[in-house]
Amino acid sequence: MEEDQNYLKVKKIILFFLSFLLSLNCFAYEIKISKIVELEDPWGSTFINNNELIVTEKFGEFKLINIENGNFSKIKHNINFLVDGQGGLLDVIYKDQYLWVSYSENRGGGKSNTSIAKGKFNRKNINFENIFQATPDINSGYHFGSRLAIKDNHIYASVGERGGGMIAQDPTNHAGSIIRINLDGSIPKDNPKFEGKDNWLPEIYQIGVRNPQGLTHSKFDNKIYASNHGAKGGDWFGEIKKGENYGWKILGWGGKNYSGIPIGPKWKPGFTKAIQYWVPSIATSAITIYDGEEFKEWNGKALITSLKDQSLRKLDFKDLGNVKEEIIFKNKIGRIRDIQIHPLNGKIYFLANGNLWLMEKN
């Protein structure tokens, strides 16, 4: 009798694992990824309607793409960008007939920094005007950050620390910060500068970041989230919090310098604590909080893309004490630079390895 019970227990365990493995295989076959169009070093994208997507290419082009057939046209512009290392024409976001674009602005003499320009959408030619220019001018091709997100009537933007390390702890410059301005470029009256942070520049909302290439607004909790590159390890995903400090380069977030020398502790009290860390580095890139029908079981979950790791990861962070991470795919489309959710059907679009890709259920 006891042997029969043990046999049944073992059988149940085996059946459980078999069903689990089968569910993984079924899930893998549910996803279909297809290439829409080849591009040249694409960086940012934004839907302007249900059929068209605007893509920025690092070397200076705006392309208006029909996602149904892959046909595209170029949009002329007047942006004074500088292609230098990681810099060029970077992120773009659309709202109410206007485009905002972040880019590495040519400040002369090989110097540059992250700027944001705004222009009225036009299919042929867009005249942009700067509404934000990060200071100081720096001779470096590293860490522009440059991701954009809109919440209410404010635009949030990430500004990398340009390889300057501890410059991210100095709020008298913009390097290594998250900025928050009104959609017209004016300064919100409730930014930290006006609420006790007297020495902060008026546009700065949070300091202490390294190279945040992911930024998004969640409609589920009305918060802004970011992803950030560490050095050799220490990438993170976390909430953007007013007047706080993520700690770079006092903190190393679990990573080390490229020389192998430790940077500092992963976290300590007094600094913002990220929601999820990655050691070794996966090179976190664009992020979004999924909201759609195609993968409706993912609603409210964070989707994290990566460059080095070439993966799409899903984070369930409802319980911050038990964050659940799942790799959706890896090594399928190359280094992933951007992610967008179709506003009507929830299908997912990526910029990766010089192409625009579509992910949907098979």
Domains of the chain: 34-361 (2.120.10.30)
pLDDT tens for each residue of the chain, 362 residues long? 545 555 555 555 554 554 444 444 434 448 999 999 999 999 999 999 999 999 999 999 999 999 999 999 999 999 999 999 999 999 999 999 999 999 999 999 999 999 999 999 999 999 999 999 999 999 999 999 999 999 999 999 999 999 999 999 999 999 999 999 999 999 999 999 999 999 999 999 999 999 999 999 999 999 999 999 999 999 999 999 999 999 999 999 999 999 999 999 999 999 999 999 999 999 999 999 999 999 999 999 999 999 999 999 999 999 999 999 999 999 999 999 999 999 999 999 999 999 999 999 99
pLDDT digits (tens, 9 = 90+) for 15-65: 455 444 444 443 444 899 999 999 999 999 999 999 999 999 999 999 999
Q: What is the pLDDT of residue 26?
A: 39
Predicted confidence at residue 339, as pLDDT, reads 98
d(CA 9, CA 2): 11
Q: How many C-alpha atoms does 66 have within 13 Å on its Cβ side?
A: 6
Q: What is the dihedral of CA 237, 239, 244, 245, to 10 degrees?
A: 0
Dist CA 130 CA 30 (whole Å): 44
3-state secondary structure of 344: coil
Q: What is the pLDDT of residue 21?
A: 45
Question: Residues 120-124: contacts with CB within 8 Å, 24+ apart?
Answer: 121/48, 121/94, 121/97, 122/75, 123/64, 123/73, 123/75, 124/75, 124/76
Q: Cα–Cα distance between 233 and 279 in angstroms, integer?
A: 4
Tokens 């625009």 — which residue? 356
Confidence (pTM) = 0.92
- H or E element that contains 27: helix 2-30
